[in-house]
Amino acid sequence: MDYFFIITVLVGLSAAFGYINVRFLKLPNTIGLMLITIVFTLAVFALSYVDNTLLDAERYIIKQIDFRTVLLDIMLSFLLFAGALHTNFEQLKIQRWPVLVFSTLGVLVSTFLVGAVMYFILPLFGLQVAFIHCLLFGALISPTDPIAVLGILKQAGAPKKLETKIVGESLFNDGVGVVVFLTIFQIASFGTDNIEVSEIFKLFGQEVIGGIGLGAIIGWIVYRLMKSIDDYYIEVIITLAGVMVGTAIAHKFHLSAPLAMVTAGLIVGNDTIRGTAMSEITESYVDKFWELIDILLNALLFVLIGMEMLVLVVEGKYVVAGLLAIPIVLLCRYASLLIPINFFKKRLDFVPKTNLIMTWGGLRGGISIALALGLSDEMNRELFLVITYVIVVFSILVQGLTIGKLVTWAQKRGLK
């Protein structure tokens, strides 16, 4: 089965499920696609008791796809550039310090809180897991997923300054989260005796600072090229080339491609640069092109997340641990945001209930699943994959469907 056929099947399913959602369910695309895919996969499971042909075909397709590589090395760069391109740069500049703290200190605090709590909770289910492996889980589940957040917040009606905090944090904290995960992964793989503290800081600095620096260079080059011509077809291709070349360079030199593409997207999408480098028709074409890329890849991603159920090794105690992990992760996120929000809220006029809304609106998605798939068997891969999947499904279906109602409730309590 070649890759063209696999992509054809995925695009066909995305189109069919998307049509069903728009025509009948009328849910946000992210939620609708994932829900329909899960129902479809469960129906395939049920049908397999009579005829397992369809189940075998679906399993074969999923086994041909390296979800971790496809998302982290390919799709994520395009999705983050598209998200950053349409982010309100002026609002983000105003909120830059809380966004920075949320996406760095917040991720680190949440990682250690989740890891510590899970280390003491899991033995209650007869699951003995090393502390370093619990920290790995904390690292992969702490970043909020910008891909999930961006689509849902557009329909939630959140105030702009609150939306900027959530979206800005989500755009940056996944890159930081991936770096934290990879750092802990190396320690877990080689042991603390074989890794110097200086190497950890070098890896972290290289990935984060190097990624942001590369993104700034890519964004500046794209801007200069677009400013020197007036041909909207070529200018759209230049933005696409910027993402692809920038991602390739980041992978070659072990820099954070997600952070690079967020930085490049913010620079190219900046209103000042738009006004000096793009004509009105170019701006329209660039925006429409990247909106289409965003919608298409989002559709494929959430269909894949739903189909990933087929790779789970489901045990009752794993599922129960996953259900218990939901409130643990939410409480740890709330705690990790508490100090930064209290520090900044008077200086930047935070809206009431910011912590509650950011906690409930901090959705988990494909990034967490992709990182969990990268764990080895010695790192309790099957256990943490099931727990992660339970949290992601709850996050998208329950939190995603109710965040709008929470915002409305908060507005009635004085949110403006």
pLDDT in tens, 356-385: 989 998 899 889 999 999 999 999 999 999
| Mean pLDDT confidence for 166-174 | 87
Q: What is the pLDDT of residue 247?
A: 97
Q: Is residue 267 within 8 Å of residue 220, measured between CB atoms?
A: yes
pLDDT tens digits for range 1-25:
578 988 999 999 999 999 999 999 9
| 391 has a pLDDT exceeding 90 | yes
Tokens of 202: 């070098």
Among residues of the chain, what percentage have pLDDT more than 70?
A: 95
- For every residue of 165-178, DSSP letters joined together read HHHHHHHHHHHHHH
Q: Which CATH class is domain 67-412?
A: mainly alpha
CB atoms within 10 A of CB 50: 7
Crossing angle of the two packed helices 366-373 and 146-153, in degrees rounded to 10: 170
pLDDT, position 157 = 66
User: Six-digit token pair at 142?
Assistant: 């702490």
| Predicted confidence (pLDDT) at residue 50 exceeds the cutoff of 70 | yes
| pLDDT tens sequence across 56-89 | 888 888 888 889 899 998 999 999 999 899 887 7
Please state, in angstroms and rounded to a whole number, the distance separating the CA atoms of residues 117 and 123: 11
**pLDDT at residue 416 is higher than 50:** no
Per the prediction, the chain carries an average pLDDT of 89
DSSP 73: I
- pLDDT over 70 at 214, yes or no: yes
How high is the pLDDT of residue 93? 84
**pTM, 2 dp:** 0.92
* Tokens linked to 348: 């930047």
pLDDT value of position 38: 93
Whole-angstrom CA distances from 83 to 76, 88, 89, 265, 311 are 10, 10, 12, 8, 29
What's the confidence (pLDDT) of residue 287? 94
